Amino acid sequence: MNNHFSRSFQSRLGVFLPVALVILILLVGAGLGERPAYADDPGYVISLQFENDFFGGGTDRHFSHGTRIECLTSPIQWMTDAADKLPWFRSERARSSPEDELKARASFSLGQNMFTPEDTTATQLIAEDRPYAGWLYMGFGLVANQGTKRYDKLELEIGVVGPYSFAEDVQTFWHSLLGLQVPQGW
């Protein structure tokens, strides 16, 4: 492994990766048998979201970085039936509008967010600033759309904070690789 990663990181990664891989295989595999319920549907949709303060003001103040990968399945009939029974997924007006057929699909996501104080050179906790924090999470959701006029999502996210979020390791790696000052307060 690259020398940017500590033994502690390698140990945590050895625990996290097998668990994450099994969960990902189970979740994505659960929807593979589904065929597109609609002829005009493209099937699976995969999106990648990348946010970094580097693109804004270039400061590691408060929200520093976020990465999220999400997979949406083709519309699934039983999920559409379930969404149709939830009042916030379909208004009464929309129920009387047959041209805007409700389609629901499952979403699976994996993401990481990290937060840092304004002064990343300090090695101790800064009383008047936000502490370092990382969040590694996965989500499962019900996504419904009605034509192009309405899009709703109900998602459950579960994750970890602290060392198992790998936020320190990821931020240290990227700052070292790009020649930026490495945050000192993790």
**What is the residue whose two structure tokens read 């940017």?**
4
Beta bridge partners of 110: 69, 138
3-state SS, residue 135: strand
> Tokens at residue 182, please?
């490495």
pLDDT exceeds cutoff 70 at 116: yes
Beta bridge partners of 143: 105, 153
Instruction: Name the residue among 56, 73, 76, 74 with its Cα closest to residue 65.
Output: 56
Residues 56-85 have a mean pLDDT of 82
Amino acid identity for residue 43 in this structure: G
Residue 2 has a pLDDT of 46
pTM, entire model:
0.73
Averaged pLDDT score across all residues of the chain: 79
With cut-offs at 50, 70 and 90, classify the pLDDT of residue 137: very high
Question: Quick one: how many helices (H) and strands (E) in the chain?
Answer: 4, 5
Instruction: Looking at mean pLDDT, say which of 56-65, 73-82, 95-104, 155-164 comes out highest.
Output: 155-164
Percentage of the chain exceeding pLDDT 70:
67
pLDDT of 1 > 50? The answer is no
Of all helices (H) and strands (E), which one includes residue 8? helix 7-32
Sequence ranges of the domains in the chain: 7-34+44-177
In the structure, what pLDDT confidence band is assigned to residue 39 with cuts at 50, 70 and 90?
Answer: low
Query: What is the C-alpha to C-alpha distance for residues 87 and 90, in angstroms, rounded to an integer?
Result: 6
Residue 178 burial (10 A CB sphere; 0-12, 13-18, 19+) = exposed
pLDDT score for 93: 60
Q: If pLDDT is split at 50, 70 and 90, which confidence band does 156 have?
A: very high
DSSP 46: E
Instruction: Read off the pLDDT of each residue in 54-76 and give the average, rounded to a whole number.
Output: 81
Q: What is the pLDDT of residue 167?
A: 93
